Amino acid sequence: MKDQQDQPRDLDGNPVTPGLPMAMLAEVTHRCPLACPYCSNPVELVRAAGELPANDWGRVFREAAALGVLQVHISGGEPGARRDLAQIVAHARDAGLYVNLITSGIGITKARLQELDAAGVDHVQLSLQGIRPDMADRISGHPGSWDKKMGFADWVTEIGFPLTINAVVHRQNMERLPDMLELAERLGARRIEVATVQFHGWADLNRKALMPTREQAVFARQIVNDARIRLRGRMVIDYVPADHHAAYPKACMGGWGSIGLNVGPDGTVLPCHAAQSIKWMRFENVKERSLSDIWHLSDSFNAFRGTAWMPEPCQSCARKTVDFGGCRCQAMALAGDARATDPVCSLSPLHAEVVAAAEADAAADTAEFIYRRMSKGG
């Protein structure tokens, strides 16, 4: 067992018992045919040779189900880059998990999608980069991506999967958000996730091309609020706002180590997809320790549980159990300190500086992207 000193605690020094994770993101590969300038995978990608074999994923899924996980999001990179994807899906189904496939729709044929249906995929989540061929192909860095995605969406409907659209928004497409919502409706989606680009990892290299303006952030929030009323009962809208322009940060991951976990292609277990940007933190691997031990006992998962770790002004703030001090990876990126109050918070001493930098980037006269590509040999 862990040293009592290392247990997460509240501000009165009482030990905090972690809840159980409901969802697991299984990033089965980092390989991807797209080159999105805001890719959320770590800056250091895992190569094909380092990926966990399908049988190992089977063990991880069984451990996840025993731990309390109900649904697995099988993602990447592009999960279709794995030839054994149907086997991986079948293992997840055998473990009793609800299986959501998160895909770009590129590289999965109709026959393969039928095979994945038979293997146990319950739900499909398709990423869209734009609402027109030129926009989608330019942002994804993949000529022809739009046509392939629209064809894929048709197969999803034909086979009868429930569909979620995943739309990342930023300065170069935010004004087309109403069209994106309309497209999602037309494709028969039951849910759309509208996520403003998060500026850590690769996206940080493209701040000047992607940072939305304050006016765009206000516009997007209004569009989402109106659409939620208009589409009630037909399509659910999940929204990750542009928090550089908000008063308070988002409750990232619903709180560190509280409701979900990520397993990377090589079996590294992370409290969130960007956690490896916190360089001093050591992350454990399913090859060396059980998922349950990692969830309950590892230093990485316990690092930001409870409230005792929080600095001021979070410790004295009424929102500390609402947003949990914001995003640790954003604190790392903007303050250089993962333990800091998320600097997008209006109560952070760094807030004015962060807003000034965001506004300068939003006003930058560039549309050029630094694309994300895995070098040869991936």
Binding mask 221-260 toward ligand FES (x if CB under 6 A, else -) reads -------------------------------xx--x----
The answer for 326, left when phi > 0, alpha when psi is -120 to 50, beta otherwise, is: left
Span 308-347, contacts to ligand FES by CB under 6 A: 327-329
Contacts of 354 (CB under 8 A, 6+ apart): 244, 334, 343, 344, 348
Q: Per rule CB under 6 A, is residue 69 in the interface with ligand FES?
A: no
Q: Per rule CB under 6 A, is residue 305 in the interface with ligand FES?
A: no
327 a known binding residue?
Answer: no
Please report where in the chains the tokens 């600095």 appear, as a residue.
311
Q: Per rule CB under 6 A, is residue 274 in the interface with ligand FES?
A: yes
How many Cβ atoms sit within 10 Å of the Cβ of residue 14?
Answer: 11
**Least distance (Å) between residue 321 CB and ligand FES:** 16
Q: Per rule CB under 6 A, is residue 79 in the interface with ligand SF4?
A: no
3-state class (DSSP) for residue 263: strand
Q: Residue 341's binding partner, choosing from ligand SF4, ligand FES, none, with beta-carbon cut-off 5 to 8 A by kind?
A: ligand SF4
Q: Per rule CB under 6 A, is residue 267 in the interface with ligand SF4?
A: no
C-beta of residue 241 within 8 angstroms of C-beta of residue 250 = yes
Q: Which stretch binds ligand SF4 (CB under 6 A): 57-65, 166-174, 274-282, 316-324?
A: 316-324
Of residues 38 and 256, the one with the C-beta less far from ligand FES: 256
Report d(CA 347, CA 318) in Å as an integer.
12
**Least distance (Å) between residue 7 CB and ligand SF4:** 21
Phi first, then psi: what are they for 234, rounded to 5°?
A: -115, -45
User: Residue type at 272?
Assistant: C
DSSP 25: E
CA atoms within 13 A on the CB side of 113: 25
DSSP 15: B
3-state class (DSSP) for residue 291: helix
Q: Per rule CB under 6 A, is residue 339 in the interface with ligand SF4?
A: no
Please report where in the chains the tokens 């980069």 appear, as a residue.
129
Angle 214-215-221 from CA coordinates, rounded to 5°: 90
Contacts of 223 (CB under 8 A, 6+ apart): 177, 178, 181
Of residues 248 and 371, the one with the C-beta less far from ligand SF4: 248
Binding mask 29-68 toward ligand SF4 (x if CB under 6 A, else -) reads ----------------------------------------
Of residues 148 and 250, the one with the C-beta less far from ligand FES: 250
Of residues 301 and 369, the one with the C-beta less far from ligand FES: 301
Q: Per rule CB under 6 A, is residue 23 in the interface with ligand FES?
A: no
Residues that bind ligand SF4 (CB under 6 A): 248-249, 313-314, 317, 319-320, 323, 325-326, 341-342, 345, 347
Binding site for ligand FES (CB under 6 A): 252-253, 256, 272, 274-275, 327-329
User: Residue positions in the annotated binding site for [4Fe-4S] cluster?
Assistant: 32, 36, 39
